Chain A
């Protein structure tokens, strides 16, 4: 079971990475306009002009 000594911290580390990712997203305002974000994905302004 010694493998747990490595696996457990690794699993926790990955989880923490996700948690900090969420905190960063929250702090940078990515959750301020969730409805708008769903619509912005449809706009074509990032395509090269033909």
Chain B
């Protein structure tokens, strides 16, 4: 008899001397009481030195003394308390974002401190200037401001200065160049003016500018950090365990720990954990996540199997050739590389605005300088006026205009189950005019469902579905999804390879193959449609199981069409399987039996016509097409490689997130343009005043904060609920 243990050493990381630590994503944390219950239960395990729940991220961190504790106990303890734990290692991107967010928060704190204190001094000077402040007191206040502002700006301005420096070295202009220039010039001028005992200095403008900009960036990062954490948890939830042979014994290891050459057992109903060759056993494999093909493939010793395929009927022993799906089908890898390198870098709206804006501002300032000088002003006065122009035009509103909308829009998308992978995906989503869907797992649900429920007595169906809870066969699992009661029959017995039987209400009930149930097997004409049979006493029936459309697919597709989008289906599945789906959704433009290269060719042809394509797909065969498209979405059930290519991932069974993404993105882009115009109008009013030499620090402060608040308030409208498909369960 084989015994099984779980080996989690991959996830344990050494911490302080003699202790190991592990992070676990926990499903089911819903309230404050969960924190105390989980921490209490895990801390009481012998050898555990610390357990702390992070409620925001739904994670648990555990530390224990090395060699005194078996980490798999953590998962068991969680399970005993009604939670499911999934160990994981934080991804690099997530750690880097967390570090960046902390850095921005520190800068924000310094800028806030400096802005408050300088404003305190500035208000005193402004009110003193119209009453009775002595020049000595004013100079003292100005020097005190300089003492706060110079170190404060040097610290808080680093995110802008370093980015501007990088842009300049690459001989381009981004938004940070005019910001940095404005801040540095304003501070320099203020110090010179203070030394000359002038009435006005611009310390407050420079620091307030930094403060407002840092607020925008910090919010942006907080949002991104949160989505990353959720994405990390979901990845941990999906991580499969594999049964690896250690000699003759089976050890459960995370699929990520597999290495080439390992021997692995794949039981019926499990996903293949890595790419490899079958060395023993025979079964049917569902490759739909790899190729989009819904008909099952027969495999035996010598056949190649790929990570993500679902094993249907028999146990397989396989030898791993590449762990974690690292060896893709060769042509997919080649196509991916080509598509990624051909992807034209679409320039972000903010950078485009900066490219127009920065030269205009710098030119205006230069002309002001020359103009005043020629007009007969002293060089000193001309320079002061020119710098005032730079300060007043400093793109406070402009730099907030786009990030503020992005934060609000990505928050709205997050609430609707769409997790953005790339920051500028919103802008690209808004430009889309053509949507291409994959069929299997995208328009249809990733798992097969019962499709003939209408023809079967619901009471009989419920008995069969409850019986199906006792089996791991994929067809039974599909049937079990229909069960309203999640309690299996306690006397159910599974006959390997045949079905389950149980004594129900005094009569034997059987669920499984036709022969097992004593039913005559009907002639199955449709590939992709499978039957599971049920007999209860004299009553017999069969359940047809097949891919089914997502519950709201018809409404979502109609809503997308109403947006004026051209919809198409490109599938790797047989034409016979695609046609009914296309017909049900009313999409006349569909093609089946496409390989990945042909999908890319279609997208390229559309691009050549000037179309902006949104590709929605989940299979490994879609990954190159996702990379080639203007912007891409994939469901959370997609293959890992495919998700990595997608600009955004959506959760749940509904297709509405695709519509929501486009609708919210369009609204967000509209608001971005509005904000840019607001910033332009603000400049149109403020710049002539500045050129005329009439700007005082008070006016600059009012104009700057006023325009920033205005664009931020406008950005909040991106979360408007009306722009999304109505909630509600259509199924």
Contacts and interface: CB of A to CB of B under 8 A. Distances in A.
Interface of A: 1, 4, 8, 11-12, 15-16, 18-19, 22-23, 26, 31-36, 39-40, 42-43, 45
Given A4-B140, A12-B148, A19-B110, A31 B32 contact: no
Interface in B23-44: 31-33, 35-36, 40
B110 A36 contact: no
Interface string B360-393: 0000000000000000000000000000000000
Nearest to A42: B32
Given A15-B113, A39-B35, A39-B55, 7 more contacts: A8-B144, A12-B144, A22-B109, A33-B55, A33-B57, A36-B56, A40-B35
B105 interface: yes
Contacts of A12: 117, 144, 148
Given A16-B113, A39-B35, A40-B35, A31 B55 contact: no
B106 interface: yes
Contacts of A23: 106, 109
B102 interface: yes
Contact of A34 (B40, B56, B102, B148): B56
Contacts of A26: 102, 105-106, 109
Given A4-B140, A15-B113, A39-B55, A31 B105 contact: yes
Contacts of A36: 35, 53-56
B696 interface: no
A12 B148 CA distance: 9
A42 B358 CA distance: 52
Nearest to A9: B144
27 contacts: A1-B134, A4-B137, A12-B117, A12-B144, A15-B113, A15-B116, A15-B117, A16-B113, A18-B113, A19-B110, A19-B113, A22-B109, A26-B102, A26-B105, A26-B109, A31-B105, A33-B54, A33-B56, A33-B57, A34-B56, A35-B55, A35-B56, A39-B32, A39-B35, A40-B35, A43-B33, A45-B40
Nearest to B112: A19
A40 B34 CA distance: 10
A43 B34 CA distance: 10
Contacts of A15: 113, 116-117
Interface majority SS on B: helix, strand, loop or mixed?
helix
B551 to A, nearest CB: 31
Q: Which 5 A-B pairs have the closest CB atoms?
A: A36-B55, A39-B32, A33-B54, A35-B56, A19-B113
A36 to B, nearest CB: 3
B113 A45 contact: no
A12 B106 CA distance: 18
A31 B225 CA distance: 13
A33 B120 CA distance: 33
Interface string B116-135: 11001000000000000010
A47 to B, nearest CB: 12
A19 B109 contact: yes
A23 B108 CA distance: 11
Contacts of B134: 1
Nearest to B101: A31
Contacts of A16: 113
Given A1-B137, A12-B117, A19-B110, A32 B35 contact: no
Contacts of B113: 15-16, 18-19
Nearest to B98: A32
Nearest to A16: B113
Nearest to A19: B113
A17 B345 CA distance: 47
Contacts of A34: 56
B178 to A, nearest CB: 28
Counting chain B CB atoms within 10 Å of each CB, the highest count among A18, A26, A39 belongs to A39
B679 to A, nearest CB: 31
A8 B3 CA distance: 74
B224 to A, nearest CB: 16
A16 B134 CA distance: 28
Nearest to B53: A36
A23 to B, nearest CB: 6
A44 to B, nearest CB: 8
Nearest to A1: B137
Contacts of B102: 26
Contacts of B56: 32-36
A31 B105 CA distance: 10
Nearest to A31: B105
A17 to B, nearest CB: 11
B137 A39 contact: no
A40 B32 contact: yes
Interface string B326-346: 000000000000000000000
A9 to B, nearest CB: 9
A28 to B, nearest CB: 12
